[in-house]
Structure 1
């Protein structure tokens, strides 16, 4: 099961799905609650995403998994990486891969590039109840900073959708809210294996932020692995080098088959 993050439509996972299916996996890439079936439908009816927060997104995917025959391996990017960790910690996933995952509660690092990337939303408190689209220039800084201008423009035109502001506000205030929806049981949850991947040049979720997440899991006896990909930004799942990232995830899943129920691992 593939879970997208803010501002990118679920159909951007199509190349990943094709690759994983070639390797024998059954895949699915459902959108967030309120997403349209296509990029254009979501752009045209973006108000359907107004006010959608982390808890609603988690429940949405948990309900989908409840209807499945087996627990899936969940691969998530950005906020999808946070959702993947939530599903894993709560027993909905057999294993999880979080790629440049949005920070969970407990992370204190706040690099300038991360603040600048989220500022189009956080700068206006009214955006908590609204859906916000990135401009081309904002996308270039946040996602396309390691790309040519032409590739950044192509990805922006093809895959971007407006995103609800609420998850960003919930994540930004997580350390000050007792029952934050961005909180995960890092310490005690008995769970399947988790892989976290960080692009070293990511502006939205800088490497030091993902490293802070890895440290939060340090005392959990369940397996947590970490990989970095040199020179890659937040676009790493959708740009021309996406297959390199997908291969890292596939190799890790293959290496950990003994720790993942084979019947479950082969279904999603």
Structure 2
């Protein structure tokens, strides 16, 4: 009997639609996996619908998103590989820490509880949300100019604007407020089970020119795992920004992850 292909769950972050993973889905399916990229809770399936119903995902926080994906994983029939970008990377870490995946890849992951204060570029990237405390209960979008700073700073203006037009959607402000206050909250939803020795291997990926999640955040995240004997590794793409999963160089990142899966994930049969 042929074994069922291993599922791969892709989790997007703020301001990108789930469909931004479509090229990754095609690549991973071609390599013998069974990939899915579900939307966040309340998020419409299409980019146009998400823009038209701009507050559909408003008010959903980190725990809501984690529970949403945990339920999806529970219906898969076998433990998946989880791959997330930005806040999706944080959710990946949380799910892996709960032993809900056989392996995880966190790409430019948002800061978890314990990570030191944010660099100035990260604060500027999130200013569209933090400029109004009422945004904790709202969804917020980015202008093309804001997107260029936060995502497309290493791209041409033309490519950045094209990606913004294709994939940008409004996203809830609540996760950002929760992450910002994590180190002052005893039971923060941004906390991750970093000391879990039994979890699957974790790969952290950093974009060296990322304004939203600078390398310093990812390196600080790696230190949070120092008390765990489980595999935790970091790969840096020195000249890449926060757009590294959707821009012209996405394939390089994806192939690096596939190579890591081949090397680190047990019983991958394709």
TM-score, normalisation: structure 2? 0.95
Shift in Å, 1:46: 2.0
* CA offsets 1:64-119 (integer angstroms, 9 cap, x no match): 11111101000000000000001100011110000000010000131110000011
Shift in Å, 1:189: 4.7
SS at 2:126 equivalent? helix
Aligned equivalents of 1:119 and 1:266: distance in 2? Answer: 44
Aligned equivalents of 1:234 and 1:87: distance in 2? Answer: 22
Report if aligned partners of 2:102, 2:265 keep a CA contact under 8 Å in 1.
no
Aligned equivalents of 1:213 and 1:115: distance in 2? Answer: 17
> RMSD across aligned C-alpha pairs, in angstroms?
1.0
Structure 2 counterparts to residues 152-171 of structure 1, below 5 A = 152-171=160-179
Report if aligned partners of 1:109, 1:208 keep a CA contact under 8 Å in 2.
no
Aligned equivalents of 1:257 and 1:149: distance in 2? Answer: 38
Runs of 4 or more consecutive aligned structure 1 residues displaced over 6 Å after TM superposition: none
Report if aligned partners of 1:26, 1:266 keep a CA contact under 8 Å in 2.
no
Aligned equivalents of 2:196 and 2:210: distance in 1? Answer: 30
TM-score, normalisation: structure 1? 0.96
Aligned equivalents of 2:265 and 2:63: distance in 1? Answer: 30
Q: Among 133, 150, 153, which residue is 1:125 paired with?
A: 133
- Other-structure match for 2:121: 113
SS at 2:16 equivalent? coil
- Other-structure match for 1:103: 111
Shift in Å, 1:47: 1.4
SS at 1:226 equivalent? strand
- Other-structure match for 2:98: 90
Report if aligned partners of 1:199, 1:234 keep a CA contact under 8 Å in 2.
yes
* CA offsets 1:204-263 (integer angstroms, 9 cap, x no match): 0000110000011011110001000021000000000000000111000000133xxx2x
Aligned equivalents of 1:194 and 1:39: distance in 2? Answer: 30
* CA offsets 1:14-72 (integer angstroms, 9 cap, x no match): 10111111111110000100111110111111211110100000000000111111010
- Other-structure match for 2:69: 61
- Whether 1:35 aligns to 2:43 is yes
Shift in Å, 1:188: 3.3
Aligned equivalents of 1:77 and 1:188: distance in 2? Answer: 22
**Paired residues, number:** 262
Shift in Å, 1:123: 1.6
Tell me: CA distance 1:82–1:266, structure 2 relative to 1, closer, same or farther (3 Å). farther
Report if aligned partners of 2:50, 2:169 keep a CA contact under 8 Å in 1.
yes
5+ residue gaps, structure 1: none
Give the structure with the larger helix fraction. 1
- Other-structure match for 1:186: 194
- Other-structure match for 1:150: 158
- Whether 1:71 aligns to 2:79 is yes
Aligned equivalents of 1:64 and 1:266: distance in 2? Answer: 22
